[in-house]
Amino acid sequence: MTDDPEVLVVGAGIVGVSAALNLQRRGLQVTLADRQAPGDGASYGNAGILVPGGIVPVPVPGLLKKAPGMLLRGTGPLFLRWTYLPVLLPWLARYLRNGRDTQVRRIADALAPIIADSLEEHLALARGTPAEAHIREEPYLMAYRNRAAFEADGYGWAIRRDRGIGWREYEGDAVRDLEPALGPDYRFIAALEASHGMVDGPGDYVKALAGSFVAGGGRFEEAAFTGFELSGGTVAGVRFKDRVIRADKILIAAGAWSARVLRALGLSIPLESERGYHAELWSPAGGPVRPIMLSDRKIAVTPMTGRVRFAGLVEFAGLDAGPRRAPLRAIAAGAAAFPGMTWQRETEWLGHRPAPADSIPYIGAVPAHPNVYAAFGHHHVGLTGGARTGRLIADLIAGATPNFDMSPYRVKR
């Protein structure tokens, strides 16, 4: 191909698109490539919530004791395709070891700078583009059956409090005043309010950002990665089936597929697909008006234009298996929390969260290949951290130094 860019970004989710826009704004010639259209992967199907308070990883003390019961119950929030277990075990052992208190605190400290000020970061990224209309400031409500259930979650809330993240508590009738659609089974809400927000239609949001990138002179190529082009031991470009795009610098931001991509350079990265589902109820009436987490079900409920999205759960079955009915049934059952809600039709979706064994994203240069960079692995906070991650990796690629310690995110760790 001709007109080879200075930077090639592989992956057109929120992280890749954010990086491409930030690089373009620094005056660099950038090409963005993905096997599907921008925003059609995990960035399409997430809950659309910007949660600086999302610093607590999934594995925490006590999870190992609870996990077997969750799996055997068969109604969520944890699912496993048992034939995949032999493949999963090495990663799973590392993942669970990171649920110790010292590791959880280390992870929270690493996530905090990436997802802090998320709302402001996204507003800055989208400012002056059509994507700006998709962002709005909203509290994130965490609904519990009662105060005792909230207090049983005290470990995670203490992690937040120790890092300066506050919340407001609502109980009894105050819950109904805050969220009238929520049924009587939920009698307690902890509301994360400061700098929290949501994106109405995250797939459309990422497409709008990508559209602004193209309108600004960037190029998008819909093409599937097949390998790297080497010249004298240096990565000179990327192969996409029968063509090669050469670039001075290359960024891998391919989400859950990133470990497969980097395997071609001899890297072994402990990354799994933590499969997530959503169900959307269209033309709703009597539904929630703010984003809300049903804490007992681990389902996030987000009112979006024309529909309510129910998203969440955890399933381990790899990148290649198709969707299963049991997680979809568990997601759809979340609608019972809003007994007065009606809707016209339903749609379903399965996507892949990139889950590092230590729940910390990979952001930085790739070992032994100084012109190749990585930005992926945000687990449950990909949208939340996508704007800042794009800015940070653009700084590194452009030769600038971020104003905080980047060592927790190094690719080889």
Note the pLDDT tens digit of each residue in 320-379: 999 999 999 999 999 999 999 999 999 999 999 999 999 999 999 999 999 999 999 999
> Tell me, what's the pLDDT at 3?
62
**HSE-CB of 115 using CA atoms within 13 angstroms:** 31
Residues 364, 367, 373, 377: what is their CA dihedral angle, to the nearest 10 degrees?
-60
Amino acid 163 reads R
pLDDT in tens, 62-93: 988 888 888 877 778 999 999 999 999 999 99
Task: Please tell me whether residue 267 adopts helix, strand or coil conformation.
Answer: coil
Adjacent-strand bridge partners of 240: 243
pTM of the model: 0.96
Q: Label each residue of 23-43 as H, E or C.
A: HHHCCCCEEEEECCCCCCCHH
CB under 8 Å to 58, separation ≥6 — which residues?
Answer: 274, 314, 359, 379, 380
Token pair listed for 236: 């000179």
- What's the CATH fold of domain 65-100+139-196+271-356? D-Amino Acid Oxidase; Chain A, domain 2 (3.30.9)
| Stretch (H or E) spanning 272 | strand 271-282
Contact 189, 168 (CB under 8 A): no
Give 41-58 pLDDT, tens digit per residue: 999 999 999 999 999 999
Tens digit of pLDDT for each residue in 6-16?
A: 999 999 999 99
- Tokens linked to 164: 């300066």
The span from the CA of 68 to the CA of 80, in Å, is 11
Specify the pLDDT at position 1.
Answer: 40
pLDDT at 262 over 50: yes
Ranges of beta strands (E only) in 150-233 are 168-171, 188-192, 197-199, 219-222, 227-231
Residue 394 pLDDT exceeds 90: yes
Residues in the chain: 413
CA 407 to chain CA mean position, Å: 21
Segment 26-37 mean pLDDT: 97
The DSSP code for 339 is T
DSSP one-letter string for 81-114: -GGGHHHHHHHHHHHHHTTSHHHHHHHHHHHHHH
The pLDDT score that the predictor gives to residue 69 is 81
pLDDT (0 to 100) of residue 317 = 96
- Rounded distance between C-alpha atoms, residue 367 and residue 95, angstroms: 23
For 197, phi then psi, to 5°, come to -165, -165
Q: Is the backbone peptide bond immediately before 270 cis, with ω within 30 degrees of 0?
A: no
User: Is the pLDDT score of 24 beyond 60?
Assistant: yes
Query: How would you classify the pairing of strands 299-304 and 292-294?
Result: antiparallel
What does the mean pLDDT of the chain come to?
96
Measure the CA–CA gap between 223 and 241, rounded to whole angstroms: 8
Q: Is the pLDDT of residue 2 over 60?
A: no
In the predicted structure, residue 158 carries a pLDDT above the cut 60: yes
- What is the DSSP secondary structure assignment for residue 383, as one 8-state letter? H
Q: At which residue do the structure tokens 């950002």 appear?
A: 209
CB of 198 closer than 8 Å to CB of 46: no
Domain regions of the chain by residue span: 65-100+139-196+271-356
Tokens (6 digits) for 26: 């620094």
Helix axes 118-126, 202-215, angle to 10 degrees: 40
Residues 29-56 as b/e (b if ≥16 CB within 10 A, e otherwise) read bbbbbbbeebbbbbbbbbbbbbbbbbbb
Structure token pair of residue 298: 């681990």
